[in-house]
Amino acid sequence: MGGGLLVAGTTSDAGKSVVTAGICRWLVRQGLKVAPFKGQNMSLNSFVTREGAEIGRAQAMQARAARVEPTALMNPVLLKPGSDRSSQVVLMGKPVGEMSARGYHGERQKELFEPVLACLEELRRTHDAVICEGAGSPAEINLRRTDIVNMGIARAARLPVVVVGDIDRGGVFAQFFGTTALLAPEDQRLVAGYLVNKFRGDVSLLEPGLAMLDGLTGRPTLGVLPYAHGLGIDEEDGLRVSLRGAVRESVVAPPHGADVLRVAVCAVPLMSNFTDVDALAAEPGVVVRFVDRPEELADADLVVVPGTRGTVKALAWLRERGLAAALARRAAEGRPILGVCGGFQVLGERIEDEVESRAGAVDGLGLLPVRVRFAREKTLARPVGEALGEPVEGYEIHHGVADVRGGEPFLDGCRTGAVWGTHWHGSLESDGFRRAFLREVAAAAGRRFVPAPDTSFDALREEQLDRLGDLIEEHADTDALLRLIEKGAPEGLPFVPPGAP
């Protein structure tokens, strides 16, 4: 049985995903066979494995960091929010229905515990080390009884736990202490140390606090990771473009041609797989921003309508905001628009939805000759094809079935004038196709933008994952991490009162 470690966090977005990826990359560089794992993930950014299973995009990124093929075992439960109170439940890569938060956190979640634990044990059987990511905080005491992703899985699998805290937000010492003190004694015995994330400044100024924390909890801080600008990884949720920071901060990557190219991404409700625009943001001279007002489209050379878990809701939002009218004006003027997945669907003539929104027949924006009918069975695929004379790979995650009734073929969708639509996520990661597409956009926009001939999105992604591995290797106590992975939490860790019952 291989070793393991759970990377928990004091809060959501404390850095669990990046630390997990960094540990995976560091370990695989030591010659170990490594796998990531997250028992339950809530995210609208997902990915399709080669066997046709849908998992969290972050776990696919961590698998890449570990240099292994992603599988459903790495994220057995994926929750895809459809509203503030309900989510689609994806089990072992396949949707099994919609469920309210109350319904899920009751008996249903308890039923999933054994399958989740079995997936972890299978990965541990076939790998030297499994690096698990928690969710939110392990100190969410209201959810502990049915927990299958934090201390519940750690206790069942006897995993040592390292807690990550984001010092850039402030209050990290209170977060570490409070997180530990709110855990039951049995859970506290597995919490072996802390990792400070996103530190700016002189570490020596932090050391007195770290010593006091050790004295109060009996647990060491196993590393202080510096704030790293421009780290590009696949986000779980939020409105950030993972490679945009790297491009904007670079002083060696000016536009290859005379002009920049401005891309506006409509920040539709329940936006999914917004990582599609990362590859655009990686191009020198391409500026990507999210927008929610029609006037913000005025100077955009390309507008992207991204995927969404609520196509009909996004359509209504575009109309309410005045963005639908702005998109129609752009199309009439021959100014470029790209719709991806749900964004492709809203650009069509008509949507029949008795599955996602149950709204029935709804008129689309009418910018593409497409009619969409929502099927109960979700399409999960990894298509390969050609467009604009270049090879393209992508992945599909959608209930909508498109009936294309005209226009020029474009991947599985179509093109009419300067409006393109496709169900394929990830197509812009294909370098040759992306460059050809941007040349078309620049020509239609009247910009003297020229794509750089040597930008490799794959190489950039590898470079970013190596940077994560470097952060662990250079700023964490790797000897201590290896001991935890191989031997588990040390005996005799002290109890921090009051603890949970």
Q: Is 132 a catalytic residue?
A: no
Q: Please list, in sequence order, all residues whose beta carbon lies within 8 angstroms of the beta carbon of residue 477, skipping any fewer than 6 positions away.
A: 220, 222, 223
User: Measured over all CA atoms, what is the biggest interatomic distance in the chain, rounded to whole angstroms?
Assistant: 71
Distance CA 77, CA 372 (A): 28
Strand bridging mode 221-226 / 191-199: parallel
8 A C-beta contact, residue 424 and residue 340:
yes
Burial of 221 (0-12, 13-18, 19+ CB in 10 A): buried
Q: Is 425 a catalytic residue?
A: yes
Residue written as tokens 């100014």? 335
DSSP string, 101-126: HHHIIIIIHHHHHHHHHHHHHHHHHH
8 A C-beta contact, residue 402 and residue 345:
yes
Which residue out of 341, 399, 414, 423 is catalytically annotated? Answer: 341
- Per-residue tokens: 22: 């960094």
Cis status of the peptide bond prior to 498, with omega within 30 of 0: yes
Say how many CA atoms lie within 13 Å of 326 toward its Cβ.
23
Which residue out of 399, 423, 425, 475 is catalytically annotated? Answer: 425
Distance CA 354, CA 352 (A): 7
8 A C-beta contact, residue 365 and residue 346:
yes
Residue 192 CB: number of other CB atoms within 10 A? 23
Distance CA 308, CA 314 (A): 7
8 A C-beta contact, residue 200 and residue 227:
yes
| AA letter at 137 | S
8 A C-beta contact, residue 387 and residue 412:
no
| AA letter at 144 | R
8 A C-beta contact, residue 206 and residue 199:
yes
Distance CA 16, CA 59 (A): 11
Q: Which residues are catalytic?
A: 341, 425
